[in-house]
């Protein structure tokens, strides 16, 4: 297997995992500070999806950190296959949740002409933006993992 930037056990790999974790946590924090997010299924799905993203990214960031500290190589084909499947599943769930929540947010702001929830609507927008940023970093990581698996 090739050793290039973004692979498990590299600094860029750790940065990608930490950015996934931070953006997903920001999305949850922004959404959870509203009082009525639980009334809409798409927002609840966003919370669940970002919660899974936090767990996945945190565990893989710990593995990357361990590999960096111990100078270990995480290029085992079975491990890379697991990373590919996990990254693609979380990327798909994150995109679906962010898109559904964005649709509800657009409905409130543009289609209805105004938002009845006041400041909460801005928190919805921030949460959706963080979810898309988390998805972008997850998709970059999943493409790197797929490339690494194909190169192996």
Question: Per the domain annotation, does 4 fall within a domain?
Answer: no
- 3 state SS for the chain: CCCCCCCCCCHHHHHHHHHHHHHHHHHHHHHHCCCCHHHCHHHHHHHHHHHHHHHHHHHHHHHHHHHHHHCCCCCCHHHHHHHHHHHHHHHHHHHHHHHHHHHHHHHHHHHCCCCCCCHHHHHHHHHHHHHHHHHHHHHHHHHHHHHHHHHC
Residue 1 lies in a domain: no
**Residue 27 belongs to some domain of the structure:** yes
Asked if residue 61 belongs to a domain, the reply is yes
Query: Higher model confidence: residue 57 or residue 2?
Result: 57
Q: What is the pLDDT of residues 83-141, one digit of tens each?
A: 999 999 999 999 999 999 999 888 877 777 667 667 788 899 999 999 999 999 999 99
User: Would you say residue 27 has pLDDT above 80?
Assistant: yes
pLDDT in tens, 59-79: 999 999 999 999 887 888 899
Q: How far are the Cα atoms of 35, 55, 73, 77, 101 from residue 21, in angstroms, in the given order? A: 24, 8, 22, 25, 19
pTM: 0.92
Range of the domain at 18: 11-151
75 CB burial (10 A radius; 0-12, 13-18, 19+): middle
Q: How confident is the model at residue 2 (pLDDT cuts 50, 70, 90)?
A: low
Task: State pLDDT tens for residues 28-37.
Answer: 999 999 888 8
Per-residue model confidence (pLDDT) at position 86:
95
Per-residue confidence (pLDDT) for residue 49, from 0 to 100: 97
pLDDT of residue 117: 66
Does 2 map to a domain?
no
Domain count for the chain = 1
Using CA atoms, how far apart are residues 102 and 143, in angstroms rounded to an integer? 24
pLDDT band at 55 (very low <50, low <70, confident <90, very high): very high
pLDDT at 1 over 60: no
């Amino acid at each position: 297997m090739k050793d290039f930037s973004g692979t498990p056990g590299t600094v860029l790999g750790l940065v990608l995992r930490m950015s996934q974790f931070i953006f997903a946590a920001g999305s949850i924090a922004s959404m959870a500070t509203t009082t009525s997010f639980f009334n809409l299924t798409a927002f609840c799905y966003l919370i669940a999806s970002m919660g899974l993203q936090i767990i996945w990214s945190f565990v893989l960031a710990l593995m990357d950190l361990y590999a960096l500290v111990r100078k270990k190589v995480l290029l085992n084909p079975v491990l890379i296959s697991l990373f590919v499947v996990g990254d693609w599943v979380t990327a798909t769930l994150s995109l679906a949740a962010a898109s559904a929540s964005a649709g509800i947010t657009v409905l409130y702001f543009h289609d209805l002409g105004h938002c009845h929830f006041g400041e909460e609507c801005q928190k919805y927008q921030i949460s959706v933006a963080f979810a898309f940023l988390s998805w972008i970093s997850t998709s970059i990581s999943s493409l790197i993992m797929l490339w690494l698996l194909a190169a192996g």
